Structures are given as C-alpha cells and as structure tokens.
Amino acid sequence: MPFSKDSFKSAFSVDNVIFAFDQGKLQVLLIKRAEEPFKNQWALPGALVNIDENLRDAPMRTLKELTGLEDVFLEQVFTFGKVDRHPKGRVITVAYYSLINKNAFSLQASSFAQEVKWLAINDIDSLAFDHYEIMMVCLRRLQESVRRRPIGFELLPETFTLSDVQDLYEAILHKELDKRNFRKKILSLKILDDINEYQQNVAHRPAKLYKFNIDKYEQFKDRGFNFEI
C-alpha cells in the first residue's frame, strides 16, 4: 500500500517498568501524572519519543527527566500497539524493564511527574493508559528470566541471608517455595560465597551471611541455566 498522509498520523512512546525488592516485597517505580490524560493517576515513567531522537536513547532520557534515575540498564521487552490505547490518538509504545537496588538511587519528580514513588506490585490494581498490562507483561518476563538466569545481585544488599534470597524469588514468582529444596538448589549453583559472618542485632537466631561470587554469577548470566524449583 502506498504512503498517505494518514500513514504518519501516529506517535511512538517508551514506557519503563523498574523493579526493586525491599522489605520482602517486589516493588515498581511509578509516577503520579500532573497533566491530562489521566491527571493525578499513577503511571509508569514513560513519554513520547522525540522526532529527532533515536529509540535506544528515549527510555533512559525519559526515566531521567521524570524520576531522576540515571545509568540504569534497560532491557526491551515488548511493543504495545492497540489502536485505542491512548485517548489523544494512535500511540505505539515500546516497553523496557530493569532491576535495581533502589537504595543506590535518589528519586526526584520533575516534568509532568508531580510525584514519584515505589509501590509494592501486589498493591497495584490499576494504572493509567494500559500501563497495568505493560507492567504485568514485564513481570512475566522477569518470572521467565529468574528460571534461566541468576537474579539478585541487582536487588539484594551486598551481604544477605539465604532467607533473603528465597524471599526475593518468592516475591517474583508469587508462590511459596520449599525451604530445603530452594537452599539445596541455590547453593548447588555455587554463585554464593559464605563470608563466615552472621547477622547482628536480630531478635532470632542469627543466620549466616552470604555475598554473590561475581565471576560465577556473570558466567551463569551469560550461559543461563534451568532453575525450576
């Protein structure tokens, strides 16, 4: 079909799903919109791609402008293109996701974001536009990834317990895991180093602390594995 004027009456946008793990819960970074459409509603950090901007630059620029986050690795997930997904016209969006340690970053709302906040994913039941659907697609990608690649270095503190790792996997997979089987499996990968230290100032029996063996962690990230539990 030849090009027509209508062929160019559409826009592209990017939307970012940024995951973090805190207090035993998987969280997502959201903005409260300061303008229509969906003013005062929670949404993913996203915006239109500028006419002179490369697609690969748009998600990082958008994330920085709306939330203040910089130097975040973003992985492209899916393209959403329902005709009526945006009330102002035809907008096709490309979704990206990332895992970060939220304590390593400072948030600052700006542009059309009047507020930026971490919310537990289980506490979110609706978002502006089709952003809830986008978030859930990215969550499923994360759930698939956790079975093929090690996950935790980006989300856990430098030292942690085996219970912390299991809590993370349970939060991502949204199911309880058998404690004995999980520990046997995760230790068999040899991506955790026992640092011969224990928790301090806890009300219960102190648990051993571990840290990731970065070399082995990166090897498994590159070649993958089967982590069915």
pLDDT-based confidence at 134, cuts 50/70/90?
Answer: very high
Classify the C-alpha dihedral 192-198-199-200 as positive or negative: negative
Q: Residue 3: is its pLDDT beyond 80?
A: no
Amino acid 1: pLDDT: 44
Query: Would you say how long the chain is, in residues?
Result: 229
- Residues paired with 17 in a beta bridge: 97
Model pLDDT, residue 115: 98
Task: Indicate if the pLDDT at residue 2 is higher than 60.
Answer: no
pLDDT band at 70 (very low <50, low <70, confident <90, very high): very high
In DSSP terms, which residues pair with 80 in a beta bridge?
93
Provide the residue ranges of all domains of the chain, joining segments of one domain with +. Answer: 7-146, 162-223
**3-state secondary structure (DSSP) of residue 87:** coil
Residues 125-149: b if buried by 16+ CB within 10 A, e if exposed: eebbbbbbebbebbbebbeebbbee
pTM, 2 dp: 0.89
Q: How far apart are the first and last CA of the chain?
A: 50
Query: Which residue has better confidence, 8 or 165?
Result: 165
Overall average pLDDT of the 64-89 stretch: 95
Between the CA of residue 150 and those of 48, 106, 155, 218, what are the distances in Å? 33, 26, 11, 8
CATH number for the domain running over 7-146: 3.90.79.10
Each residue's pLDDT tens digit, 80-126: 999 999 999 999 999 999 999 998 899 999 999 999 999 999 999 99
Tell me the pLDDT tens digit for each residue of 24-50. Answer: 999 999 999 999 999 999 999 999 999
pLDDT, position 224: 81
Q: What is the CATH number of domain 162-223?
A: 1.10.10.10
The tens digit of pLDDT for each residue in 140-191 reads 999 999 888 888 888 888 999 999 999 999 999 999 999 999 999 999 989 9
| Element spanning 93, H or E | strand 91-99
